[in-house]
Structure 1
């Protein structure tokens, strides 16, 4: 089974024969440029061709004999503090968005509706990333214990947050710390969807966050 959301994720799939000797593309770089330039449509064509040749299938492994147990992850004081700070930040942001919505309500109803759609979608993604982050340390401990016991560890992620982290690195080439996907979601919401075309990025952040200190406390 294989899967890739972007052409670059297929670089390791050399045995598919999509590039190399006897193929249309001599190297992966040639294949990548041809597909990436044409977007999602090209990826769909590649997938269809692979399915036609029996190279790409989707199947579900049997759960026969499989057991599982739910692990309860204890929350650390530091995480609780970060979570509470995040809640306060979103409450402050909601109040600012509400005020902005009142100003544009009579002029552009569609813009107001779209703004709230983006707001709550970002809200959901933010706390999803926050919940995923709270499990990392515990997962590492379980993984190390399992490796010592001679087991093979496979970790599944609902979302990697790669796109948000990439946006942060592109926006600031001098990032010397781990990028926060959760913070990236909120920053993207403020920069792209907070009403006020004549307001600078710094002024938007000050209005929504209520000051830089609150923003810096985000996890």
Structure 2
């Protein structure tokens, strides 16, 4: 069974097939981090805990932005970032296992948790240089900063009510 998505199929970028799970084996592997991966993870944890989240708190205080919704967005981005980082750390071990299985005559099927399609589409829309791989972790951080990081002072609800009342009074007398 093939899923039809003509524009993507025509370009060869999309093909979906239904697979039978009969006699299939599934494995969830625990992969120890290399020294470089651990250093990368530690640097990312330092960035989030010591740089980004305190900057968000400072921005909230300075702009008087509602902190609750922003905190939800920040922690959502945080979870997606570290999920993607952990998945990416497994790729070298996955490639090694897949090649070994192919050499033994097995057909390897890899289930992707995240394809990065949204980041790719955003990069294409921005006319980015696509010769280098797109970092989903970077896209998550930049997406959070661009969409949610407060940079302007929030409107004062009490002041807004007073201004609206004054405007209504002026209109009523004109």
With structure 2 as the length reference, what TM-score do the two structures score? 0.70
Greater RCO, CA 8 A, separation 6+:
2
Q: How far did residue 121 of structure 1 move?
A: 1.4
- Aligned alpha-carbon RMSD (Å): 2.9
Aligned residues: 147
Tell me, yes or no, if structure 1 residue 157 matches structure 2 residue 112: yes
> 1:174 & 1:9 partners in 2: Cα distance?
21
Instruction: Please say if 1:140 is aligned against 2:95.
Output: yes
Report Cα offsets for 1:131-173 as digits up to 9, x if no partner: 1101111111111111111110100011111211332454463
Show the counterpart of 2:72: 117
Is the 2:81–2:141 contact (alpha carbons within 8 Å) kept by the matching residues of 1?
A: yes
Match of 2:55 in 1: 96
For the 8 Å contact 1:165–1:184, the answer to whether it is kept is no
Structure 1 spans left out of the alignment, 5+ residues: 14-58, 199-219
- Structure 1 residues 94 and 163 mapped into 2: Cα distance closer, same or farther (>3 Å)? same
- Deviates further, 160-169 or 146-155: 160-169
Q: How far does the alpha carbon of each residue in 1:25-84 deviate from its partner, in whole angstroms, 9 at most, with x for none?
A: xxxxxxxxxxxxxxxxxxxxxxxxxxxxxxxxxx99556x55444422121111111101
Gaps of 5+ in 2: 13-17, 154-174
